[in-house]
């Protein structure tokens, strides 16, 4: 205890600090230590007692969870409107799994039936997997959440069916490409013939195709070409006109790579339908996307203070 009566504050503070340092001496204390002065005055004799209590003046910021805003286009299987762009806000640094779970909550699509994919003007760019960081979802115009159909075979270990994720490209005569229309996902039997596969793809687009397409006066071979777009395949890997085009080594390689990443979900392959003159066969080649109110709300939201 330091006697403070009638003594100057500077001397009292120095003695108090010296006593404290005898038991508490470190680099942190030397840099960040200060003393709090408290004063007590007797109301009767008006004598004043001053004390100095050491404390550490380290400013510690309260932890804050920063949010990452994502804009994702949901491609529904049967719901209308078929394409809806949603705005999501998730904790920054989360894995893609958290994005998938949030989409499940917002859309009611089961997590094992969600394909997260980037689709740009040249077709399918990237597939996103649960273990990846959500920071890679950085292109708000081209990230898609595609609803897969429920597999017709509950345990498709035999591989008799396959999921196809399909989009259309217009290929000009100088080989420039432009994506058009709405992508779609279907399940087909792997033992389809080449012509059966072509007709299956056309029927899936029947709402936007001209009726005369289905008279087949023009052979499907002269309408479009089917290209596999996959990391395991060359850029010019077109499906061959063979008896069973989905049972080729090319498709097996793509499925093998997909199986390594999708976990328990059903693997799929990406197909590009290349058209020279789609206007001859389509009523409408627009890609119509409805914007949910969450998109504008998140765009208008002011940034949170740091």
What's the pLDDT at 305?
43
- 147's tokens: 């609803």
- 1's tokens: 């205890």
Separation CA 40–CA 48 (nearest Å): 6
- 142's tokens: 């081209």
* pTM of the predicted structure, to 2 decimals: 0.76
What's the pLDDT at 306?
43
- 277's tokens: 């003159």
- N-terminal to C-terminal alpha carbon distance within the chain: 44
Strand order in the sheet with 224-228: 177-189, 161-171, 268-275, 224-228
Q: Which residue has the higher pLDDT, 153 or 271?
A: 271
Does residue 18 have a pLDDT over 80? Answer: no
Separation CA 272–CA 119 (nearest Å): 11
Separation CA 66–CA 283 (nearest Å): 46
What's the pLDDT at 111?
93
Paired strand residues for 143: 118
Separation CA 266–CA 148 (nearest Å): 9
pLDDT band at 295 (very low <50, low <70, confident <90, very high): very high
Tell me how far CA of residue 23 lies from CA of 16, 19, 20, in angstroms.
12, 8, 6
- CA 198, distance to chain mean position in Å, is 32
pLDDT per residue over 94-143, tens digit each? Answer: 999 999 999 999 999 999 999 999 999 999 999 999 999 999 998 778 99
Average pLDDT estimate for 40-64: 77
pLDDT per residue over 176-199, tens digit each? Answer: 999 999 999 999 999 999 999 999
Q: Which residue has the higher pLDDT, 284 or 167?
A: 167
- 152's tokens: 């017709």
SS3 sequence of 166-230: EEEEEECCCCCEEEEEEEEEEEEECCCCHHHHHHHHHHHCCCCECHHHHHCCCCHHHCEEEEECC
Does residue 91 have a pLDDT over 60? Answer: yes
Closest CA to 119 of 183, 177, 59: 183
The domains located in the chain, with CATH, are: 67-297 (3.10.20.90)
Tell me how far CA of residue 109 lies from CA of 147, 150, 166, in angstroms.
7, 11, 19
pLDDT band at 233 (very low <50, low <70, confident <90, very high): confident
Tell me how far CA of residue 231 lies from CA of 133, 255, 269, 299, in angstroms.
20, 11, 11, 34
pLDDT band at 25 (very low <50, low <70, confident <90, very high): low
pLDDT per residue over 241-283, tens digit each? Answer: 999 999 999 999 998 888 776 655 778 999 999 999 999 999 9
H-assigned helices in 123-178:
none
What's the pLDDT at 159?
67
Closest CA to 285 of 171, 173, 182, 199: 182
pLDDT band at 27 (very low <50, low <70, confident <90, very high): low
- CA 165, distance to chain mean position in Å, is 18
Task: Average the pLDDT over each of 13-27, 36-50, 103-117, 190-204 and give the range with the smallest value.
Answer: 13-27
- 266's tokens: 């059903």
What is the DSSP-derived secondary structure letter of residue 111?
G
């Amino acid at each position: 205890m330091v006697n403070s009566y009638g003594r100057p504050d500077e001397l009292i503070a120095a003695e108090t600090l010296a006593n404290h340092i005898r038991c508490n001496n470190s680099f942190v204390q030397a840099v960040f230590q200060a003393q709090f002065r408290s004063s007590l005055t007797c109301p009767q004799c008006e004598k004043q007692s001053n004390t100095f209590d050491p404390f550490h003046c380290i400013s510690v910021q309260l932890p804050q969870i920063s949010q990452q805003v994502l804009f994702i286009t949901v491609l529904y299987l049967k719901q209308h409107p078929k394409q809806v762009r949603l705005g999501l806000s998730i904790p920054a640094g989360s894995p893609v799994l958290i994005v998938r779970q949030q989409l499940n909550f917002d859309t009611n699509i089961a997590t094992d039936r969600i394909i997260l994919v980037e689709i740009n003007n040249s077709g399918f760019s990237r597939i996103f997997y649960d273990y990846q960081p959500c920071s890679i979802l950085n292109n708000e115009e081209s990230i898609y959440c595609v609803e897969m159909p429920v597999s017709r075979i509950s345990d498709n270990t035999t591989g008799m069916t396959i999921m196809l994720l399909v989009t259309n490209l217009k290929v000009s005569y100088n080989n420039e490409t432009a994506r058009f229309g709405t992508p779609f996902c279907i399940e087909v039997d792997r033992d389809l013939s080449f012509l059966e596969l072509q007709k299956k793809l056309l029927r899936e687009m029947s709402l936007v195709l001209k009726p005369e397409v289905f008279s087949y006066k023009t052979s499907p071979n002269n309408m479009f070409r089917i290209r596999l777009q996959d990391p395991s395949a060359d850029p010019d890997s077109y499906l061959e006109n063979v008896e069973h085009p989905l049972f080729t080594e090319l498709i097996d390689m793509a499925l093998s790579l997909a199986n390594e990443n999708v976990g328990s979900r059903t693997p799929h392959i990406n197909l590009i339908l290349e058209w020279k003159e789609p206007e001859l066969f389509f009523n409408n080649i627009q890609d119509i996307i409805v914007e949910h109110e969450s998109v504008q709300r998140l765009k208008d939201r002011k940034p949170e203070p740091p």
